[in-house]
């Protein structure tokens, strides 16, 4: 099948969740399909990054958008254009012309578009069928941020949430297939014509480590350019970890540089080997209170054999059993208590880790995830050939 893959970040290096998802899907699907990755990027990627994606067997076309061009587009949003800022930020006429030319020249069977941001570049109604990978319910993510972020950015998030919700509904109606990472995200978007394709974990890279860490090291790892991770890291360092230290003064916490001045907190920034970092921890703590989608950091910790303590928000997208695969806690006292319990009872942590790895192997390999994407491509092409299928509408 000939596929055009539209993304607003080149999938390499796969630092963010959308990049990681795209990277592994392309890695597994490019050998079996003719894929062109069109990266609509604000800043040109490095030659090494382009070569990495091309090395997957993908033809790469980079369309630079430029940061300066975003200003007039965002101004439109302030002056009455009701489209989301997410969309306007990436909208350029010259880039649209480049994508249109690519569509005419290559005659793709399917267009796969990742995130709401690509909405300005979708094929015309009489063009190839569209598979839209929303990944998660961005409107719900923004609403959660607005509830916790009391800065001007939080106010903008509240405003943007309504715009994004309208765009999500329109895009789902437009697409032949829509994908998200979890049933919770599907429900947040109203259910109906949405396929759940979970993320996975690289089981070779994140190999199970039978030897357990014997210290008292807690680890939180995440991109601190993302508000839900910043909120979680700050809460962990300021509210949760002091409670752990009261019970276990030798405990240490690894996370971000700007929080590293607190007693017992050390730096874990720009980690070259996250699998090794996770394996060196006694407990992986994932105290997410905001955000949406599937937390890859949970899967990675489970894969390497590090016991996990997480909030309900962090595991909402995962098919896990509390108390069997990991511990789930919600308040600062509960999270600290769960961490101390595992630090004092390594055998219990080992049992959780063994069960977690078994679950990851059975349910969360990237191969199964890529197969779900391939099935959506085939379904979209079949729909285009036979006519649209009527999907049930939420509430009917």
Angle at 377 between CA 376 and CA 381, to 5 degrees: 115
As a residue count, the chain comes to: 396
315-362 per-position pLDDT tens digit: 998 999 999 999 999 999 999 999 999 999 999 999 999 999 999 999
164 lies in the same domain as 77: yes
> Residue 390 CA to chain centroid, in angstroms?
29
pLDDT value at 370 more than 60: yes
Alpha helices in 107-194 (DSSP H): 138-148, 152-174, 183-188
For tokens 């020249």, the residue is: 105
- Is residue 205, in this structure, part of any structural domain at all? no
Strands 252-255 and 2-7: unpaired
pLDDT value at 392 more than 50: no
Coil, strand or helix at 245:
helix
**What is the model's pTM?**
0.87
The count of other CB atoms within 10 Å of the CB of residue 254 is: 21
Residues 6+ apart with CB under 8 A from 125: none
- Is residue 207, in this structure, part of any structural domain at all? no
192 lies in the same domain as 277: no
Q: How many CA atoms lie within 13 A of 246 on its CB side?
A: 9
30-46 per-position pLDDT tens digit: 999 999 999 999 999 99
Task: Please state, in angstroms and rounded to a whole number, the distance separating the CA atoms of residues 322 and 277.
Answer: 24
115 lies in the same domain as 8: yes
The CATH number linked to 359 is 3.40.50.2000
Which bin fits 8, alpha (ψ -120 to 50), beta or left (φ > 0)?
Answer: alpha
373 lies in the same domain as 340: no
């Amino acid at each position: 099948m000939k596929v055009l893959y539209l993304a607003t970040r080149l999938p390499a290096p796969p630092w963010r969740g959308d990049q990681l998802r795209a990277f592994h899907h392309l890695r597994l699907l490019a050998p079996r399909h003719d894929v062109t990755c069109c990266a609509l990027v604000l800043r040109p990627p490095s030659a090494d990054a382009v070569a990495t994606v091309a090395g997957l067997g993908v033809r790469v076309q980079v369309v630079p958008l430029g940061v300066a061009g975003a200003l007039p587009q965002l101004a439109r949003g302030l002056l009455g254009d009701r489209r989301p800022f997410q969309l306007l930020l990436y909208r350029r006429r010259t880039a649209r012309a480049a994508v249109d030319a690519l569509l005419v020249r290559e005659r793709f069977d399917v267009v796969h578009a990742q995130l709401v941001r690509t909405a300005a570049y979708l094929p015309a109604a009489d063009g190839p069928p569209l598979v839209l990978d929303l990944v998660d319910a961005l409107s719900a993510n923004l609403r959660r941020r607005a509830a916790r972020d009391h800065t001007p950015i939080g106010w903008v998030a509240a405003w943007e949430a309504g715009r994004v919700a309208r765009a999500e509904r329109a895009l789902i109606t437009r697409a032949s297939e829509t994908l998200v990472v979890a049933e919770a995200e599907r429900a947040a978007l109203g259910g109906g014509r949405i396929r759940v394709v979970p993320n996975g974990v690289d089981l070779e890279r994140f190999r199970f480590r039978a030897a357990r860490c014997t210290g008292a090291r807690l680890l939180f790892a995440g991109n601190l350019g993302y508000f839900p991770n910043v909120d979680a890291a700050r809460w962990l360092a300021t509210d949760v970890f002091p409670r752990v230290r009261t019970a276990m003064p030798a405990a240490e916490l690894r996370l971000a540089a700007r929080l590293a001045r607190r007693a017992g907190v050390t730096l874990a920034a720009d980690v070259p080997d996250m699998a090794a970092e996770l394996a060196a921890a006694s407990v992986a703590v994932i105290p997410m209170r905001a955000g949406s989608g599937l937390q890859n950091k949970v899967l990675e910790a489970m894969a390497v054999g590090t016991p996990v303590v997480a909030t309900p928000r962090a595991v909402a997208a995962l098919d896990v059993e509390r108390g069997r695969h990991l511990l789930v806690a919600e308040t600062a006292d509960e999270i600290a208590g769960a961490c101390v319990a595992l630090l004092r009872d390594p055998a219990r942590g080992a049992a959780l880790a063994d069960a977690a790895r078994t679950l990851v192997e059975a349910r969360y390999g990237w191969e199964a995830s890529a197969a779900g994407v391939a099935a959506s491509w085939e379904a979209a092409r079949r729909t285009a050939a036979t006519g649209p299928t009527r999907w049930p509408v939420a509430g009917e």
